[in-house]
Structure 1
Amino acid sequence: MSKEESKYGFKDKVKAEESLELLKTEEHKYQLLTVRGLLGRAKRVLTLTKAADKIKNIKEAIEVFENWVEANSNSSTKNEKPKHTDEKVDTVPGLGFKDKEAAEKTLKILEGRDPDYQKLAVKGLLGSAKRVLPSTKNEEKIKAIKEAISTLEDFLETFDREERSKQNMAYLSIELVKPCLKDYTDKLALEFVECYDKVAKGNYKHLRTKSPKNDDTVSWDIIRNKKLFKLKDKIKQTGEKLFHSDGKPTETHLKMISWAYSPNVDKLKTYCMSLKSDNKKRSHSSSESNDDSVNEKKSKN
């Protein structure tokens, strides 16, 4: 195995997640080929492994890779658009592990971002830092990297203890967001949706490095999370429901949708399907009306 290949692995879920994080800087085709290669090797190793704990770890790694392939391959279902296979996602700048200061700066940069991304980014940095250590000879550099590792590991320990992953708010697809905002007027939210649609092309990962036109100091993912935490708290405090009796999203829920989030995606999908159905009926009715009008004119003539 080459040094390049050894960066990636499948011994457990953590290693798989680190591999995906490291691959983010590569071209999409290379990412796909590498992950599929890792999957193949993992499945072959699995058939030769006897220890129950190792089998469990490899299966978890396989699941991570299979989920990634499903979300990033060219395949598409009958009712969905193809998954994203566009250009590589820009990495969030400024992340590092050369010393404690760099690690603390990293955590500051990650603050307010999607919890799942925070954890994945830190795990990726930890993996890189631990691989760099054996080849580092300078004692001061070794000490500095070890202090960075300690800082990042403390973050992960707190992250898991406080179960911050539960705070992650998965993005709605742009196809679900847009139909709900026909008469929406919030300028900032609409700018976010436009960026998500036109610039990010529906790939939420691009929003980590994109900002509003009049403020490039904060990225869209951070703005989104801040807005959504306030809206979720409002629903908790007021007890406002998510949907009206006719299935239409309530005012606060609609604001959440404008930031590409819903606590009840299945019911929202049903509502969007009803919108499409109503639009088809109106279109069909209008077409019939036009036909009747034409026939009436012909009969008069």
Structure 2
Amino acid sequence: MPKVPTEKRSEKKSGWGNGQLFGSEANENTFQGGGFKDKEKALETIRLLDGKDITYQYQIINSMYNRAKVILKRTTDKEKRTNLSEAIDTFETWVDDYKKNQRQKENFGYINLEVMEGCKPLAEKYGLKDLKFLEVYQEADGDLKKLRTKKVEGKDITWDVERNNRLKVLSKKIKEELLPLYETDEPYKGLPSKEHLEMILLAYSGDQSKVKKCIPLIEEKCK
């Protein structure tokens, strides 16, 4: 999670005066464009985070929410206090909804890159040709933070958002059609099903330990 400066000098240097949470340096740990100077900026922040990992959204928004409350206590200007209060209310509504609806359950946790690579031979057997996310994840050395700033070619979204969008569709399909996570018939009995493998190739599985145990069998059956 990005570090939040606490000293007044740091606040001025990194843009606290404008209700910005982080500095402008561009790296994988920096969330840019967000802030809390007023309601509009708070809403823009929420919009910029939309589609990203829900736990990451919570970390950023909750940090801004709490920091804005600290800044409010130091602020004496009436108009600025009003603007800050409205931003705080906006963030509070989001945070309350996150907690009330246990939205952390919506998160698609990342599996290890090694597990994805171990399952790759099965993709060819299933005729799955879209391995772009795996390639991007390999380029990032399995660092999910780098996906937050890497844009998808031809789209105005980053790879973490693209991943979540695809996983939501796959997850819904598996649940609605009651699709199995593992094959029950030969020649791939016991191995991840096609739909499950599609999720694995997006760095997600709700059953990572079992998938990992499948890798030797995948190697054997996909020679």
TM-score bracket, normalised by the shorter chain, equals: 0.7 to 0.9
Per the alignment, in what secondary structure is the counterpart of residue 181 of structure 2?
A: coil
1:166 counterpart (89, 105, 108):
105
Q: Which of structures 1 and 2 has the larger relative contact order (alpha carbons within 8 angstroms, sep 6+)?
A: 2
Residues in 2 aligned to 1:233 and 1:207: alpha-carbon distance in whole angstroms: 23
C-alpha displacement of 1:146: 0.9
Residues in 1 aligned to 2:68 and 2:35: alpha-carbon distance in whole angstroms: 9
Q: What's the counterpart of residue 30 of structure 2?
A: 91
Matched, 1:132 2:71: yes
Alpha-carbon contact 2:191-2:218 (below 8 Å) kept? no
Give the TM-score, by structure 2 length. Answer: 0.80
Q: What's the counterpart of residue 209 of structure 1?
A: 149
What root-mean-square deviation, in Å, do the aligned CA atoms of Structure 1 and Structure 2 show? 2.6
Alpha-carbon contact 1:180-1:254 (below 8 Å) kept? yes
2:87 counterpart (148, 155, 161):
148
Matches within 5 A, 1:100-139: 100-139=39-78
Q: What's the counterpart of residue 195 of structure 1?
A: 136
Give the TM-score, by structure 1 length. Answer: 0.60
Q: Which runs of 5+ in 1 are unaligned?
A: 8-21, 26-87, 283-301
Q: What's the counterpart of residue 16 of structure 2?
A: none
Matches within 5 A, 1:1-301: 4=7, 89-182=28-121, 183=124, 185-187=128-130, 190-198=131-139, 200-215=140-155, 217-245=156-184, 246-275=189-218, 278=220
C-alpha displacement of 1:4: 3.8
Give the structure with the higher percent helix. Answer: 1
Per the alignment, in what secondary structure is the counterpart of residue 221 of structure 1?
A: helix
Aligned residues: 197
Look at both structures and tell me which one has the larger radius of gyration over its CA atoms: 1
Alpha-carbon contact 1:97-1:149 (below 8 Å) kept? yes
* Aligned residues with identical type, % of pairs: 34
AA aligned opposite 1:263: G
C-alpha displacement of 1:186: 3.5
Residues in 2 aligned to 1:105 and 1:150: alpha-carbon distance in whole angstroms: 14
AA aligned opposite 2:136: C
Residues in 1 aligned to 2:151 and 2:199: alpha-carbon distance in whole angstroms: 19
Per the alignment, in what secondary structure is the counterpart of residue 96 of structure 2?
A: helix
C-alpha displacement of 1:144: 0.4
